[in-house]
A and B are shown apart, each in its own frame.
Chain A
Amino acid sequence: MTIFKEMFIANVKELIRDRDGLFWLLAFPVIFIFIFGIVFSGTDESTFNIGIVTQSENIMIKQMIEGISDIQTFNVTQGTEEDELQALERGDRSLVLMVPDIDFNKVSQGQPIEIPVYYDASQSTTNQVLLPVIGQIFSQMEDMITGQVRIFEIQPQPMQTKELTDFDYILPGILAMSLMQLGLFGSLQFMNLREQKIIRGLGVTPLPRSTILSSEILLRVIVSLVQTFIIVAIGKLVFGVTIVGNILVLCGIVILGALTFTALGYMLIAFSKTSEAGRGIIQVVQFPMMFLSGTFFPITMMPKYIQPVVKAIPLTYLGDALRHVMVGATASYNLLTDLGILTAWLVVTLVLAIRFWKWE
């Protein structure tokens, strides 16, 4: 235990005395958050204008529309198809729902009722927030019609209790990205230890190699938590972001994310001979991941064949999991799905890293 402590202290000192490295470690998320903060708080949207087009007199549809209108963040207008779609084109609507009459014949035959939803695909907020919320509302309605169990009721979700800005949705993405960068590039330090033959030099001492590795990983996790603190603090103090979820859950997800990307980093460097090559591979991996994770560009804007890639990469799920705890129910996947897929990535990359890593 004292060996671990001494080794950990040595790693900490190496890190904090590398002024340049430390500067970038702390400055990167700060720069990032300000760039995106300024860009996205410009289009501050505290309410969404929702257009609903329907001829239905059905009581359930009426209740549903009422329910949607009750949501504070939503500003609902009803109108003709033509008017509403024009309003959408002008940017006066975030989204237009075409609600048909409920055809109970169709329902009894098990056929779906199609509800076209029109929206501006270039609006990332709409994609990330509105569509999942609308989806939830309809799935509740569906339960009510088919299951006949529940009374028509819309569960107020955490995000609906406060006014959210675009930046609220972007913040978890920034955090996810920082964690990715930190994990991936942080692994290079381990490569440096090998390249500078420090690991080899320690090889003549009784120090177990696993201690060199585990103390290094612990350090990365702690740095991740520090970065999280910086990002959340700036988000809160400067951009007035509210964190909905439990801070401990948030830390848990941050640690899982940091470990996953550190393991991915270790796997990538395990296949490279020099740290220059390692840096190259990491850049090749992290750059597309940044754009394909749906953090800054809506996934729906991307070509169909890209979608499977989007669904495979860990950054998508880390961002989604963080969105769960930080802004509430605006995420695309179930939290357990997010955590499960991240854990799977962690395990697989770790196994591969251990299998292919060469200590010398």
Chain B
Amino acid sequence: MNSIEVSGLKKYYGSVKAVDGISFQVKVGNIFGMLGPNGAGKSTTIETLVGLNKRTGGEIRVLDLDPGKEFDRLKPQIGVQLQNPSLFPRLTVREIVRLFASLYPDPLSIEEVISLVGLESKEKVQTKALSGGQRHRLAIALAMVSNGSVIFLDEPTTGLDPQARRHLWDVILLLKSRGVTVFLTTHYMDEAEKLCDDLVIIDQGKIIAQGSPKDLINQYFVERAIEFVDPGFTEEERNGINDLQIASRVIFENEESHIILYTDDIARSLTSLMDYAGGLSKPIADVIVRQATLEDVFLKLTGRGIRE
């Protein structure tokens, strides 16, 4: 059984194809992740699924309803956290949770959601005085108080400190244990790997891979990754690495000036690489050999880092 079914969904803003023909299903009670860099079309997808945006084309069913037409029946059954939550600035945390609770037929208790997101000490603080992370957690509380059977979370952990992030993961897993379906977007690989039962990777409005995190890694990576800091190769010298034919793919990550090689013969590749660098008198330090991650899947599929 599926909570969400999407086929051929398109959303264009004029000539910008924010979402360009995506299809996926979300099973009841699963945590479904949509992973992609900024501008990939994640928020647009969520906003279309919850009836805030009108789609350009394609079919959507959420809880067997069309969010474009039957939003009146859909809204009481879902909870939504938008990426940039806008809240009444002068209501306190408690007051705004209370307001939202009053909008739903069968809400969770106000105390419970406030403590789930760890805002007990901020209960009486007006929302305009909250920090970014606290606003974010409040928005998640508002999505949860609905007690909806599907909860949409748009980048729920972006901007949270590592501790708050871990805590929120626990909350999301708790929702799952209660049978709630969670649709979340993220650009953190580790988050997707840890939380999601199913996952799509989206880039420039298109799905470029989908499956469970394990599936994706197995499918795209029987290989391992050799990652090292660029010792100052010239353009020509970089291209020389490709000519060595020691890797299925070589990625130059300009931002952190890392170079990553994917290979199934670590020993041979490492030796050739060291020789090559030694011959150019640019010895390589700080080499890491590791298992592939989702980040690598993304890099391999697009040639770009996900946080770009």
Contacts and interface: CB of A to CB of B under 8 A. Distances in A.
A198 interface: yes
Interface string A311-345: 00000000000000000000000000000000000
B89 A206 contact: no
Interface stretch (B27-35, B98-106, B168-176): B98-106
B274 interface: no
A201 to B, nearest CB: 5
Given A7-B99, A14-B90, A197 B75 contact: no
B305 interface: no
Interface stretch (B17-25, B78-86, B293-301): B78-86
Contact of B75 (A7, A13, A201, A204): A204
A7 B100 CA distance: 9
B233 interface: no
Contacts of B89: 14, 196
Contacts of A196: 86, 89
Interface in A1-58: 2-3, 6-7, 9-10, 13-14, 17-18
Contacts of A18: 90
Contact of A201 (B82, B90, B95): B82
Interface in A169-184: none
Given A201-B82, A204-B50, A17 B126 contact: yes
A206 B76 contact: yes
A197 B82 CA distance: 11
- Counting contact residues on chain B (CB < 8 A from A), the size range is 20 to 34
A307 B100 CA distance: 52
A18 B89 CA distance: 10
A351 B36 CA distance: 45
B88 A198 contact: yes
B230 to A, nearest CB: 42
13 contacts: A10-B91, A10-B95, A10-B96, A13-B88, A13-B91, A14-B89, A14-B91, A196-B86, A197-B86, A200-B82, A203-B52, A204-B78, A204-B82
B146 A205 contact: yes
Contact of A3 (B85, B91, B102): B102
Interface string A59-94: 000000000000000000000000000000000000
Contact of A206 (B85, B87, B95, B103): B103
Closest 3 CB pairs of A and B: A197-B86, A204-B80, A17-B90
B99 A6 contact: yes
A6 B86 contact: no
Interface string A196-236: 11101101111100000000000000000000000000000
A109 B76 CA distance: 77
A198 B142 CA distance: 13
A9 B90 CA distance: 12
B30 to A, nearest CB: 21
Given A6-B98, A14-B89, A204 B103 contact: no
Contacts of A198: 86-88
A144 B90 CA distance: 66
Contacts of A3: 102-103
A206 B100 CA distance: 9
A27 B100 CA distance: 33
Contacts of B50: 204
Nearest to A198: B86
A200 B86 CA distance: 8
Contacts of B96: 10
Interface string B44-58: 000000111000000
A201 B87 contact: yes
A201 B87 CA distance: 8
Contacts of B100: 205
